[in-house]
Structure 1
Amino acid sequence: MSDPAATFEDTTPSPEDTPCRGKGWRGKGRESLPEVFRSIRIPQNASWWRKLLAFAGPGFLVSVGYMDPGNWATDLAGGAKFGYTLLSVILISNLMAILLQHLCVKLGVVTGRDLAQACRDHYPRPVAWMLWVLCEAAIAACDLAEVIGSAIGLQLLFGIPLVWGCVITVADVMIVMLLQNKGFRYVEALVITLILTIGGCFAAEMIFAKPDLGGIARGFMPSAELLHNKEMLFVAIGILGATVMPHNLYLHSSIVQTRDFQRTDEGRAEAIKYATIDSTGALMFALFINGGILILAAAAFHTTGRHEVAEIQEAYQLLSPVLGVGIASTLFAVALLASGQNSTLTGTLAGQIVMEGFLNIRMKAWVRRLITRLIAVVPAVIIIAIYGENETTNLLIWSQVILSMQLGFAVVPLLMFTGDKVKMGRFANPLWIKLLAWLTAVVIIVLNVKLLVDFFVPEAWRAAIGL
């Protein structure tokens, strides 16, 4: 059997990885994230646990995008207004994320290409450029949420104005550079530390809130009301966009290549197994965080009649009085700041991967990352200056809806590449994964189309055509 990596352009100099370009593929053979490409050695004759620890890390970087400040806005709005009902949306979105991230692992491990490089190699240049523009728009929307979330956290804890808080986030560029130069494990260690901080804060909040366990159980059951309540659907699409993020698909297919596993069929199969365990475990932790935010809002606000609480600042002010615990608001703000900082770190890496992958360009690392960060900071500062600080939560929710609308343009290429036996060899998706993956894509696209129709087509027109 021919090497499945042959239809993509592999970039490893070793003899066993000699590139062999297949029909319809272009590219210059550059590796993804060259500074850290295959920089972490995988022990060959080690125990199961040692190998798992060696592969652990990329999944947690990816999971950061599933618990960023955009999730806070949508989960707070959903919990305060609709109680525990939208927990089912968080669960379904998380299951979709687990499947899609598994496919990203397969793409990166088997082909040696990240999703952006694969799109550039496979599609005609106009199509690749269109996908790049859409992806940059999604990253800008994501970064907007992360920058604003970090700025709000700084404001709540230290009284720093939002505009200056946004400017301070530019320093994240230097943090990423410093840690990545010391080794990718340092980036992973920082991210995991911040994730544990967020988890600890919300574990304490759950104890303080004393939520209704029966309501939580019922909330994980899908509700038919979702398809008939336009406002609920809007928040649900925001949750979907905040959970399954387009840039995470590009990010994961790249950073999984930081592991120096054996480039044989057996080595690739082992890498896929361990990397999938890593990402699945990390995403289950993200499910706890997302569910915790919504449960906290439902227990603290919905059950006390405060259904209109949707702004992060308002939630911060009310948490301690409502729960009767003085530290509750402080823990909320600490978790928000940790979430924003974590997300900006991984967002910067995703921006680098997308820019290099689609455009096949090279520039100095600090310049590239500074451009990525300014794409988010400049719009955030302008929007806050024009519309004021009171509009930040609406901006967060809309940023997640924009993300959700772009998802299909990242998911469909991923499914096409990983389902193609010519490109993936024996690692091509089996029939049952193809069915689940395409069902996921259809659900995402249909919900987004319904959202567009509900919000941009006049009600009289919808009634006339039976929508």
Structure 2
Amino acid sequence: MPGEGGWRRARLAPSLSEVHRSVEVHGATWFRKLLAFAGPGYLVAVGYMDPGNWATDLAGGSRFGYALLSVILLSNLMAVLLQGLSSKLGIVTGRDLAQACRDHYSPRVAFMLWVLCEIAIAACDLAEVIGSAIALKLLFGIPLPWGIALTALDVLLVLYLQNKGFRMLEALVIALVAVVGGCFLFELIISRPDMGEVARGFVPTTEIISNPEMLYIAIGILGATVMPHNLYLHSSIVQTRKYAENAEGKREAVRFAFADSTIALTFALFINAAILIVAAATFHRTGNTQVAEIQDAHQLLTPLLGVSGASAVFALALLASGQNSTLTGTLAGQIVMEGFLNLRIRPWLRRLITRAIAIVPAAIVAIFYGESGTAKLLVFSQVILSFQLSFAVFPLVRFTSDRTKMGSFVNSTALRVGAYTVAAVIAVLNVWLLFQTVREWIT
């Protein structure tokens, strides 16, 4: 029988207890309150512009021009919906998604979901390790194995920021997002894209479905965009705000959290679209239609654009993107372990465990197979993420559609239908992507 509030088990501890309700949200005006709530959305948006997204955006732009911009837009709209549900779950129930799964499902199911989520976080961390190592090599000539080893040091930065308060961590993430955005604004200006073609690219066409190669990359973009660990992360970090714990306070918090994540995800849309637009304007236009690896794009940017420094700016954006993703990955790992298992270990130990799981395979591949091997590993990490995504999306939609858990905040019929449709579309497309990828490896 369901317990109090529709949950089978009581919540054992608040999510991220060391920063829970630590940020005041008082403000005399709507804008000041929006600023007080701003932050969690940007930590979430980082996952939508991490190095794992770059390969699919580069491949789509260089091969098919601007045609797949509509897929990036559709992916972003799906992300806005799912992250809105995630923040609502956290604010209304006082549980993050991991805690909700633990308190609803049997211990065996919850344990299986935890294992799948840890695999997804390790895969995401793998993409961040490889992306940061590639950026260090492109900028400073550091060999890939050494660059991979250096990425372990980011644990010191995370520990320092956690001791300084959650707002400091948010400020650094927002600053790095601004660096990535500024770099790609520069790349957009010097690549001089055809703005008419860009506008037409945001309109979906039947060619995307009828062309198998285009469909494959389109599904890759979808799979690389919506990250499963972001749903766990967002449902937790919205609870760092000290809103009134009554119906009116929660309603206001849900509204401002949705505004925060929507604005932040708009920045993520700009950066993903900019990567594809730069690839289309620089590579597709000059006949370099096979550019899919980050190293190739870096090597060709300056000679094709005729602007010195274009390649360095590209690598700087990649480094900022990779480092940003490691910060949010740390939090996601902590949230998932504490939420599913109620197991609390020191953040530095948790970070080293997660990073070791990512560093070991990345280092082995870099040493024995070089740059081409790490590029393939980057794609493989996105396939793993795609496979795990549905195991986070379906519980999220189920919980937010359950009146016994959400009360008056339950999803409306239209929202429920829309959310389940998005969940089903993601599941079907990711299974198709997994099948096609495995078939390609076999052949």
TM-score range, shorter chain: over 0.9
8 A Cα contact 2:337 2:344, kept in partner: no
Find runs of 4+ consecutive structure 1 residues off by over 4 angstroms: 455-458
Q: Which among 15, 28, 33 is matched to residue 32 of structure 1?
A: 15
Report what 1:281 is aligned to. 263
1:350 to 332, 336, 347: 332
Which residue is equivalent to 2:148? Answer: 166
Q: How far off its partner does 1:311 sit?
A: 1.2
Structure 1 contact 233–451 (Cα < 8 Å) conserved? no
Post-superposition CA distance 1:387-434 (Å, at most 9, x none): 222222222223222212211110000000001000000001111111
Match of 1:318 among 300, 308, 323: 300
Which residue does the alignment assign to 1:10?
A: none
Among candidates 170, 174, 199, match of residue 192 of structure 1: 174
My pick for the range that moved more, 21-30 or 364-373, is 21-30
Following TM superposition, by how much is the alpha carbon of 1:436 offset from its aligned partner in structure 2, in angstroms?
1.2
Quick check: 1:365 aligned with 2:347?
yes
Mapped to 1, the partners of 2:102 and 2:381 lie a distance apart of 26
TM-fit CA distance, 1:83:
1.1
1:119 to 101, 104, 107: 101
SS in 2 for 1:85: coil
Q: Give the Cα separation in 2 of the matches to 1:112 and 1:104.
A: 12
Matches within 5 A, 1:219-238: 219-238=201-220
Query: Which residue is equivalent to 1:140?
Result: 122
CA contact (8 A) 2:37 2:256 kept: yes
- Bigger drift between 365-374 and 292-301 goes to 365-374
- State the Cα distance separating 1:450 from its structure 2 match: 2.5
Report the Cα offset of residue 158 of structure 1.
0.5
1:333 to 315, 319, 327: 315
CA deviations over 1:119-172 (Å, ceiling 9, x no partner): 011001111111111111111111111111011111100111111111111111
Q: Cα 1:181–1:101, aligned 2, differ >3 Å: closer, same or farther?
A: same
Matched, 1:176 2:158: yes
Q: TM-score, normalised by structure 1?
A: 0.91
Q: CA deviation at 1:231?
A: 2.8
RMSD across aligned C-alpha pairs, in angstroms?
1.5
User: Post-superposition shift, 1:455?
Assistant: 4.5
1:396 to 378, 394, 397: 378
Match of 2:236 in 1: 254
Which stretch shifts more, 126-135 or 339-348? 126-135
CA 1:307–1:209: 2 relative to 1, 3 Å: same
What is the percentage of aligned positions where both structures have the same residue?
A: 65
1:131 alignment counterpart: 113
State the TM-score, normalizing by the size of structure 2. 0.96
Partner residue of 1:62? 44
Letter in 2 for 1:293: I
Distance change (3 Å), C-alpha of 1:454 and 1:314: closer
- Partner of 1:433 in structure 2? 415
Query: Structure 1 counterpart of 2:420, which letter?
Result: W
Q: Any idea what the Cα deviations from partners look like across 1:213-260, whole Å, max 9, x if unmatched?
A: 122122112232323333323322221122110000000000001101
Q: Do the aligned residues in 1 keep the contact of 2:45 with 2:264 (CA within 8 Å)?
A: yes
* Counterpart residue number, 1:109: 91
Distance 2:216 2:363 in 1: 26
Q: How many angstroms does 1:28 deviate by?
A: 5.2
2:387 is aligned to 405
In structure 2, relative to structure 1, the CA distance for the partners of 1:137 and 1:234 (3 Å cut) is farther
Q: Is the 8 A contact 1:320 1:329 kept in 2?
A: yes
The 2-side partners of 1:253 and 1:405 are apart by 21
Of 173-182 and 110-119, the range deviating more from structure 2:
173-182
Matched, 1:42 2:25: yes
Counterpart code for 2:21? R
Equivalent-residue separation in structure 1 for 2:304 and 2:439 (angstroms): 40
Equivalents in 2 of 1:255, 1:302: separation in Å?
40
Deviation at 1:113, TM superposition (A): 0.5
* Contact kept? 1:55, 1:278, Cα under 8 Å: yes
**Is 1:207 aligned with 2:189?**
yes
SS in 2 for 1:319: helix
Deviation at 1:85, TM superposition (A): 1.3
Partner residue of 2:79 out of 74, 93, 97: 97
Give the partner amino acid of 2:15. S
Alpha carbons of 1:320 and 1:182: their partners in 2 closer, same or farther (altered >3 Å)?
A: same
Query: What SS is found at the alignment partner of 1:34?
Result: coil
What per-residue deviation string (whole Å, max 9, x for no partner) do you get for residues 420-467 of structure 1?
Answer: 000000001111111111111111112123334445569xxxxxxxxx
Matched-pair contact (CA < 8 Å) for 2:383–2:434: no
8 Å Cα contact 1:241/1:402 also seen in 2:
no
Residue in structure 2 matching 1:244, options 220, 226, 229: 226
Asked if the contact 1:147/1:166 (under 8 Å) is kept, the reply is yes
Partner of residue 363 from structure 2, selected from 377, 381, 393 = 381
Q: More deviation in 45-54 or 205-214?
A: 45-54
Partner Cα separation in structure 2 for residue 407 and residue 37 of structure 1: 26
Q: Distance in 2 between matches of 1:252 and 1:23?
A: 22
Q: 2:403 is aligned with what amino acid?
A: K
Gaps of 5+ in 1: 1-6, 8-19, 459-467
Worse-matched range after superposition: 409-418 or 223-232: 223-232
Q: CA offsets per residue over residues 194-219 of structure 1, 9 Å max, x none?
A: 01011111101001000111221221
Asked if the contact 1:116/1:357 (under 8 Å) is kept, the reply is: yes
* Aligned mate of 1:71, from 48, 53, 57: 53
Maintained 8 Å contact 1:198/1:335: yes
